[in-house]
Amino acid sequence: MLLGGAPCGDAALNLALSHAPLVAGMILVAPGGLTPALKSPWAQRAAWYASRLPDAMLLPLGRFANRFVRASLNSMVKDPATLPEPVVEEFVRLAREPRGTLGYTRYNQATIGRDRILNDLSDRVAEIDAPALFFHGAEDPLVDPEGSRRATAAMPDARLVMVPNCGHWAQVEQHDRFMAEAVHFLMEVDGLN
C-alpha cells in the first residue's frame, strides 16, 4: 500500500508504473506529477529560473523565506484554524532547520522545466491498475485539483474524493473525513467490504 502527497505522490505513481506487482493500492493526497505545466506561462518560467539559482543563493533565500513559514502555511490551507497546533509547530521547526529547504529545492530543480513540468505522468496513469483513492482539497492553491480529476478518470480502478472548502493539507484540514475514506478504501482493498 502506498500513501503519497505532493512530491511523494509522483514517487508513488512512478513506483506503481515501474513495479506494479508490489502495489496493492494507493492513497494519494493532492499528488504531484499530474500537471503538464503551471497555469501561467509566466509563473512556469519564473519558477524555472528560480530553481536554477545556485545553492549559494537558493539556500539562504529559503532560510530567509522560512522565517515567514507560518504565513506561508496559512496560504496553503483554506482555514488555518483546522490545523492542530502541534502539527504547525513541527512544520515550523522542520522548515527552520538550517537545511530545511533542501528537499523541496532539489525536488523543484528536478521537476520544473522551462515550459513544462518534467515529472508529469498524466499520459501514463491509465497504465496503473492498482486501486487508488485520490483525496484532494477543492481549493488547493499549490497542486491543481484538476490533475487528480483527470487521473481518476483515466485509471481503471480509481476513486476521487474532492473535499470542498479545503486547501492543500486536506488530510489534516479534514482529518476525520480523510480517516473515514482511508479506512473504507483499505477495507475494500483487503476484501473486507
Residue 181 neighbours by CB under 8 Å, 6+ apart: 133, 135, 161
- Rounded to two decimals, what is the model's pTM? 0.89
Q: What is the signed CA dihedral for 84, 90, 91, 96, rounded to 10 degrees?
A: 150
User: Residue 112: which region, alpha, beta or left (left: phi > 0; alpha: psi -120 to 50)?
Assistant: beta
Average per-residue pLDDT for the chain: 91
Averaged pLDDT for residues 73-85: 92
pLDDT per residue over 135-185, tens digit each?
999 999 989 999 999 999 999 999 999 999 999 999 999 999 999 999 999
Averaged pLDDT for residues 117-121: 94
Q: Examine the pLDDT at 68 and tell me if it is beyond 70.
A: yes
- Measured distance CA(92)–CA(176) in Å, rounded: 23
Residue labelled with grid coordinates 532539489: 106
Contacts from 51-57 at CB under 8 Å and sequence distance 24+?
A: 51/105, 51/108, 51/109, 51/112, 52/109, 55/105
pLDDT of residue 31: 94
